[in-house]
Amino acid sequence: MPPLVEILARRASERGTPSTSQNILVTNGAQQGIELIARAFIDPGDYVLVENPTYLGALQAFNYYQAKYVTVDMDKDGILIDQVEEKIRRHKPKLIYTVSNFQNPTGITMSVERRRALVDLAIQYDIPIVDDNPYGDVHFTPNRLPTIKSYGGDAVIAVRSFSKIISPGLRLGWINGPKEIVAQFEKVKQCADLHSSTFCQYVIYEFIRHGYLDPHIEKIRTDYRAKRDRMLRALEARFPTEVKWTKPEGGLFLWLELPSHMSAKELFPIAVERKVAYVYGSPFFANGGGENTMRLNFSCATMAEIDEGIMRLGQLVKEHM
C-alpha cells in the first residue's frame, strides 16, 4: 500500500537511514521478513552467525532451510566482537543475524562501538547483516541508539515490526534493505502470500497519519519501564543471590541465570502448576546449552501480578536449589 510504504521510508530517513519506497517491503510481521531472508539466502549447510542465545523464531526459520550455526556469546554490551572475525574466517557464514536492541530473549543491547565494529567486519568480509529490530522504539533511556543500518547502509537488512508498538495481531512488519534485494524479496513474497493484508495496512496507515503512533510509543515506554522496575525490585526482594539477571534498557524481557546445576525446563511444569509461567531458555541456544536460563516478560502482567508471580517463582527456585 504505497502511502504506508512512503511513511515507513520517510520515518527511516528521519532517523538516519536515507530510504525510498524501493527499500521497503511490507511483510506479515517481522517473522515473515526473517523467513523471506532465510528462503532467499540459505542453502542446506550454510552457516548463519548468531548471538548466543538468540530469537527462537529466527532459528526456526533458518532451521527450515537446514542452516548450521556459528554462535557468539554476549556480555552486557552485546555480541563479543573480538570473537566474530575469527569465527567468520573459520565458517564463512552466509548471514550475520542480530537482535541488536533489547534482545529477545536476554534484553541485552549492543553498544555503539560494537555496532560499528560489526558493520566494519560485515563490509570487509562481504556478509550481509540482518538486524532484527522489533524492540528498538521501546527504549527506557531518553535516547535510542543509532541503528546498525544507519552505520552499515546497504550492508544491512533491517527487519522491523508493528507487533511491539501497535499490535501483534495485525501481523504487519517491514524490511528495509538494498533496493535490488528488496525487489527479489517482493517476488519471493508473492509466491508466499501475494501481499500483506490491505485492510491491516490501512488501519496502521490511518493510525500513523492521525499522529497516534508516537504518543502511543511514549506511553508504552513509560508503562513498560515502570513494570521493568517493579520486576527488578521484586527479583531483588524474592530471589536468592545465586541467581543472576539482566537489567534491560528497553523491550519486554529480562533474562535469568539459575545456578548451573539447575534446569529451568524441569522447573517449568511445577511453576505452571503454581500458576506462574516463563519461557525456559535452552531453545534460544542454536547449538545447545542454557539449561539453567529462563526468559521473563514484564510488559504483559499487572504490577500486582508481577509481585505475586516473582514471589511464587522465587520460592520455587529456593526450594530446588
Q: Which residues bind ligand PLP (CB under 6 A)?
A: 29-31, 55, 57, 99, 104, 132, 134, 161, 163, 168, 173
Shortest distance, CB of residue 28 to ligand PLP, whole angstroms? 7
195 by Cβ neighbours in 10 Å (0-12 / 13-18 / 19+) ranks as middle
Shortest distance, CB of residue 106 to ligand PLP, whole angstroms? 11
Shortest distance, CB of residue 89 to ligand PLP, whole angstroms? 27
Shortest distance, CB of residue 321 to ligand PLP, whole angstroms? 30
| Measured distance CA(25)–CA(139) in Å, rounded | 25
57 vs 289 by CB, closer to ligand PLP: 57
130 bridge partner residues: 97, 157
Give the cell for residue 223. 508503562
| Measured distance CA(302)–CA(304) in Å, rounded | 5
In the bound state, the residue with its beta carbon closest to ligand PLP is 29
161 bridge partner residues: 173
31 vs 109 by CB, closer to ligand PLP: 31
73 by Cβ neighbours in 10 Å (0-12 / 13-18 / 19+) ranks as exposed
DSSP 162-181: STTTT-GGG--EEEE--HHH
97 vs 205 by CB, closer to ligand PLP: 97
275 by Cβ neighbours in 10 Å (0-12 / 13-18 / 19+) ranks as exposed
108 vs 234 by CB, closer to ligand PLP: 108
Shortest distance, CB of residue 31 to ligand PLP, whole angstroms? 3
23 vs 133 by CB, closer to ligand PLP: 133
Length in residues, the chain: 321
